[in-house]
Structure 1
Amino acid sequence: MPENDDLRYPIGQFTFGHSYTFDQSKEHIAAIAIMPHNLTELVGKWGDNRLDTPYRPGGWTVRQLVHHIADSHMNAYVRTKLALTEEVPTVKPYEEGEWAMLPDYELSVAPSLVILSNLHQRWVAVLDSLTEQQLQRRYFHPASKKEFSLAEAVSNYAWHGEHHYQHAYQLALRNHWI
């Protein structure tokens, strides 16, 4: 069995503080665009037994991961729009671990997969229209006390989607589900 850090960060941790070229941002936007399809193909037909399996010891279940991705990416979409319409807005952090304990995280993954598909369609429509200059617009995150450019945020959320996709994919491989 892989080490716990390999299970926790199957594609490595995201490194903040980098700058990105316009072409790199376009690649990140393409990754955001395809992620809901890939996730739905992987887990969309899984039964409760698989969905309620933690991706690692002490980790969230696949069901919780899917609902978390939807919540996280909804926040990212709103942050994107705030950064495009306000001067360095302060965004609202949220307690993702606490959100994962709320009753909607026990629902079928279908609503969150639909949300992701539709949300990403809208988000990518906005992101695809951005100029290189607009990708440098920023927001302030009070939990980290840092400003983030949209280019860095886009890179982070491309990583975030793949990070959680790999949690489910690697679990499926280990359990011979695929």
Structure 2
Amino acid sequence: MDLEKLKYPIGQFVMPEIFDEEQAAIWISEIEALPNQIKKATENLSDEELNQVYRPDGWTLKQVVHHIPDSHMNAYIRFKQALTEDIPIIRPYYEERWAETEEAKNGGIQMSVALLVSLHQRWVAFLKTLKLDDYQRRYIHPAQGKELTLANMLGMYAWHGKHHLAHITNTISIP
């Protein structure tokens, strides 16, 4: 069993050297498509399947589904901060602790899927208003100790959705 492949089934995010309008459009379309992909991948899963972990010592699929809108809500807010403030210091959150809250461990996934649908509708509407120059705006991520651009963040969150979708689809296809 390759633990690294279980952790990163699509590999780790790598920012391409060139970021242009075409790349932005691809990533926005991936963010736009994610809620329906998550809905389709999870709509027929049993409680037993949702309580499977995607890797040893990893989250259950239920926790993964709840984590995605948690993470993407934070991303949406960070995008807004970076666009409306001068190099803001974003506030990190303890995603591993959020995943251990009672509703994330035991709550029905439908509420998080519905939240993801609404959140992504709003986020994509916002992203489609941005100009290429807007993606050069920066924010400081104190946990990473560096400045990052909105271009980097756009790519990272397009990747993040596909990353967790692969956790779900790879786990449920394992016999």
Which bin holds the TM-score, normalised by the shorter protein?
over 0.9
Q: What do the CA deviations read for 1:59-117 (whole angstroms, capped 9, x no partner)?
A: 11000001111100000000011111111111000111111111121200011100100
- SS of alignment partner, residue 103 of structure 2: helix
Q: What do the CA deviations read for 1:27-69 (whole angstroms, capped 9, x no partner)?
A: 0010000001001001023121111000112111000001111
Name 2:114's counterpart in structure 1: 114
Between the two proteins, the alignment pairs up a number of residues equal to 174
Percent identity between matched residues is 42
Q: Distance in 2 between matches of 1:104 and 1:40?
A: 18
Q: What do the CA deviations read for 1:124-149 (whole angstroms, capped 9, x no partner)?
A: 00101110111111111110111111
Q: Distance in 2 between matches of 1:23 and 1:87?
A: 26
Letter aligned with residue 54 of structure 1: V
Name 2:84's counterpart in structure 1: 85
Q: Distance in 2 between matches of 1:43 and 1:13?
A: 23
Q: Distance in 2 between matches of 1:18 and 1:122?
A: 28
Q: Distance in 2 between matches of 1:127 and 1:156?
A: 14
Runs of 4+ in 1 over 2 A off after TM superposition: 15-19
Q: Distance in 2 between matches of 1:20 and 1:104?
A: 38
Q: TM-score, normalised by structure 2?
A: 0.95
RMSD over aligned CA atoms reads: 1.3
**Is the 8 Å Cα contact of residues 19 and 152 (structure 1) preserved in structure 2?**
no
Listed as ranges, the matches of 1:160-175 within 5 Å are 160-175=160-175
Asked if residue 46 in structure 1 is aligned to residue 45 in structure 2, the reply is yes
Q: TM-score, normalised by structure 1?
A: 0.94
Q: Distance in 1 between matches of 2:59 and 2:157?
A: 19
Tell me how far 1:15 sits from its aligned partner.
Answer: 2.7
Tell me how far 1:19 sits from its aligned partner.
Answer: 5.0
Asked if residue 31 in structure 1 is aligned to residue 30 in structure 2, the reply is yes
Structure 2 residue ranges without an equivalent (≥5)? none
**Is the 8 Å Cα contact of residues 19 and 151 (structure 1) preserved in structure 2?**
no
Query: In 2 relative to 1, CA 17–28 (structure 1 residues): closer, same or farther, beyond 3 Å?
Result: closer
